Amino acid sequence: MARVKAPVEEAEQVVGKAAPRLDAEAKVRGQARYADDLSFPGMLYGKAIRSDRPHARILRLDLSQVAAHPKVACVVTPKDIPGENVVPIIYRDMPLLANGVVRYVGEPIALLAAETREAAVEAAALAQVAYEDLPAVFDPLEATRPGAPQVAVPAAAEGGNVFNHMVIRKGDVERGFAEADVVVAGEYRVGYQEHAYLEPQGVIAVPEDSGITVYGTLQCPFYVQNAVAAVMGFPLAKVRIVQTATGGGFGGKEDVPSHLAAMAAVLAWKAGRPVKLVLPRDEDIATTSKRHPGLVRYRTGAKRDGTLTAVEVEFYYNAGAYQTLSSAVLWRGLIHAAGPYRIPHVKVDGYSVATNTVPCGAFRGFGSPQVIFAHESQMDELARELGMDPLVLRHKNALRVGDETATGQRLTESVGLPEAIGRARELSHWDELQDEVAAFNAQERFRRRGLGASTVMYGVGMGAKAPLLDKAGAYLKLEADGSVTLAVGTTEMGQGAQTVLAQIAAEGLGVPLASVQVAPVDTSRVPDSGPTVASRTTTVQGMAVLDAAEKLRARIVGAAMEMLGCPKVVPGDGRFHDARDPTRSVSLAEIARWMWAHNWDMAASGWAEARPVDWDAKTGLGNAYFVYAYACHIAEVEVDLLTGETRVTRFWAVHDSGKIVNPETARGQVIGGIAQGIGYALMEELPAEGGRILYPTFTAYHIPTAMDMPDEFVVEFVEASYSGGPFGAKGLGEVPLMASHAAVANAISAATGTRLRAYPATPERVLDLIGRGA
């Protein structure tokens, strides 16, 4: 069957920028296009027919009326899938289409493609499905009990509905508690958090003679390539993935695009025409991944002088019906559960549990915010019991060079946490600030202010759970006119990656930033560069770019020396100068023309892989990550004692992410992360009943607006250089959210006089705190 080829002019429409550059030198040279803006000749519109039951056996699936709809081009059921009926992520338990049994509300059971969006929606409603309901379970603790309904696919679980149970065993935790003068304990709960990216999930699949090309809003093109190849039964070389403009991902476009792309690809292949599949916002919220709800039980022991002696943690994450990324999310939660502190005795047990709910996946912070809420609450509770300043307690126990983490990893470099805590104290004028808040509270009858602090660490990169993914490739080409094309395998989602990578390339080449153009991400351009996750782009992808730049620069310098007849040249002002006589120079454009005319190789490939890591699953000990980023946040909140409304009034954030390549974009990352953290702590709530998200709209799901942001922001960086990163850089992107919500939670507890133990701190929940503290 002849396949439709993507016209050149349409392909050219997706090569623009994914986000405007913030650096004044970096100018946009093209118009960004979202997947939903693109159109191809003969394009159809895809639609999934989804389950309305949380757990049921499919007795009959009748699509005759769907297929008979005059505008429906094709329908797809499991038997029409040319390859495997599976969406491979970490495990292979999630089917593309439910085959006999549905495990959550919204699980796809069939697909259709129609001439218009409206016809696709109309036709989907004609599907007739007969079910036999099966017992369902929605709470992770209930799902672990004997006799609970079996949800997990057995091959993807360690036992029953427990997908994974992971541990850390360091020292002797009972001895540690015996040595403690003070012990505090608590239980903490968090719910879903929705990603709220700008545009919903969307892809276009285009069948071609050589295979299939998918354009889409996505984070991890090589994940998508792997999934589409598996479902289509194609070799990877026949599947091409091109990222279109992506207005934020936050983890939500890590795993879900693999499912969408594979659905669109099957439809496109069967119809022999391009298929666009874009989820409306309500369907996106109701059926795609979220931050894992969690229950965390925590116990901390300390000496009278504040020295930590032991922590014991037990936590459960509601993974939903399929594994997706839950084992990796659980692992990161495990490694970060003890916090950024020096603790000799540590015991941690983490469980990811299958339930009949929408599968959860990646979200900025990736399993760590849930346990951070607990460990930073514990630090404040401990400070109160000891009568210590909470910043003093944190600084006393903060990890330093030479210390061991909870996994027994010896830190040998780049640990800027003590400096971050000290700088946050200075910037906030902490002592005076506490007096100011106390004076305000003494004179106000119906308002109370509170201060909260948090300190966090974040393992940069994939870590010892998935070291095979911590790699990246880059391709640099000097064009004949002196401009430079850079191709990478990690994506721009508004985080400023294109700007930073272009800066690294320009610096490495010794050329002006304006000469570097970053090509659209395309799996056919560079080797598998791993996922755009885990705050690894600047560190790992940046090193690959630097590797390519150093190779190409050697040729450029060689050509300049040939042209000038000198033994050494130095770059400056966009030119290369004779080191002996700086008045003699050649421009990059002149060098490029000379190299082209003399048949010199004008391109270079770069490669990087993260430094080695190791981990023992039996004990949870080892070198979990190649380096860590750190932060200290301080929040001031004001609580209305009559309504329970809480407002964050001032905020201070100090980060150690190594060398900051672009301070402007880095500051934007911090402020954006603080906004998401404020939302997580104060307002973002997705109630569910019977496995169904009740109100999947932004009318009911509130996210912070400009009016919810602090009146005063202070953001600063302490740069503890990392020798394995480009120019000393480490990761940043996820850390601001991780630290901010816990600082806000601690500030609320301080203002109300009662410990907040569940998110979000809605007015109703805060009023309850006030009532219990009265």
Residue 23 has pLDDT above 50, yes or no: no
Q: What pLDDT sits at residue 259?
A: 98
Last residue of a domain, one of 564, 587, 609: 609
One domain, residues 669 and 578: no
CATH of the domain at 753: 3.30.365.10
Mean pLDDT for 411-427 is 98
Total domain count for the chain?
Answer: 3
pLDDT at 349: 98
Does 477 score more than 80 pLDDT? yes
Same domain, 102 and 213: yes
Residue 535 lies in a domain: yes
Q: Give the residue from 609, 644, 679 where a domain finishes.
A: 609
* Whether residue 600 is found in the same domain as residue 622: no
On whether residue 155 sits in a domain, the answer given is no
pLDDT computed for residue 2 by the predictor: 37
275 and 307 share a domain?
no
Residues 562 and 540 in one domain: yes
Q: Lowest mean pLDDT of 31-45, 205-219, 593-607, name the range.
A: 31-45
Q: Are residues 329 and 444 in the same domain?
A: yes
Q: Show the tokens assigned to 466.
A: 């998935």
What is the pLDDT, as a whole number, of residue 38?
84
Cβ atoms of 497 and 665 within 8 Å: the answer is no
Q: Are residues 604 and 561 in the same domain?
A: yes
pLDDT digits (tens, 9 = 90+) for 394-409: 999 999 999 999 999 9
- Give the residue from 723, 658, 169 showing the smallest Cα distance to 412: 723
CA separation for the pair 747, 391 (Å, rounded): 13
259-275 residue pLDDT tens: 999 999 999 999 999 99
Residue 262 lies in a domain: yes
Residue 423 lies in a domain: yes
What mean pLDDT do residues 182-201 have? Answer: 98
- pLDDT tens per residue, range 624-661: 999 999 999 999 999 999 999 999 999 999 999 999 99
Tokens of 343: 């603790």
Confidence of residue 39 (pLDDT cuts 50, 70, 90): confident
Q: What is the CATH number of the domain that holds 211?
A: 3.90.1170.50
Compute the Cα dihedral for 152, 157, 162, 163 and give only its sign. negative
DSSP 186-203: EEEEE-------SS--EE
Give the separation between CA 764 and CA 755, rounded to whole angstroms.
Answer: 15
Are 242 and 277 in a shared domain?
A: yes
User: Is residue 663 a part of any domain in this protein?
Assistant: yes
pLDDT digits (tens, 9 = 90+) for 63-117: 999 999 999 999 999 999 999 999 999 999 999 999 999 999 999 999 999 999 9
- Mean pLDDT, rounded, of the chain: 94
- Among left, alpha and beta (phi > 0; psi -120 to 50; other), residue 533 is beta
> What percent of the chain stands above pLDDT 70?
96
Residues 419, 446 within the same domain: yes
- The first and second tokens of residue 213, run together, are 């090309």
In a domain, 4, yes or no: no
Pair (329, 270) in one structural domain:
no
Mean pLDDT of 226-239: 98
Q: How confident is the model at residue 37 (pLDDT cuts 50, 70, 90)?
A: confident
One domain for residues 688 and 742: yes
Strand partners, 75: 112
The percentage of the chain sitting over the pLDDT mark of 90, rounded to a whole number, equals 94
If you average pLDDT over residues 571-598, what whole number do you get? 96
pLDDT score of 6 more than 50: no
Categorize the per-residue pLDDT at 458 as very low, low, confident or very high, splitting at 50, 70 and 90: very high
User: If pLDDT is split at 50, 70 and 90, which confidence band does 33 have?
Assistant: low
- What average pLDDT does the segment 28-54 reach? 81
pLDDT of 26 reads 31
Of 287, 313, 340, which residue constitutes the final position of a domain?
287
Q: Is the confidence at residue 31, as pLDDT, over 50? A: no
Residue span of the structural domain in which 447 resides: 294-464+615-773
Is a pLDDT exceeding 60 seen at residue 454?
A: yes
Give the β-pairing of 56-62 and 128-133.
Answer: antiparallel
- Regarding whether 748 and 665 lie in a shared domain, the answer is yes
Convert the pLDDT of each residue in 325-367 to its tens digit.
999 999 999 999 999 999 999 999 999 999 999 999 999 999 9
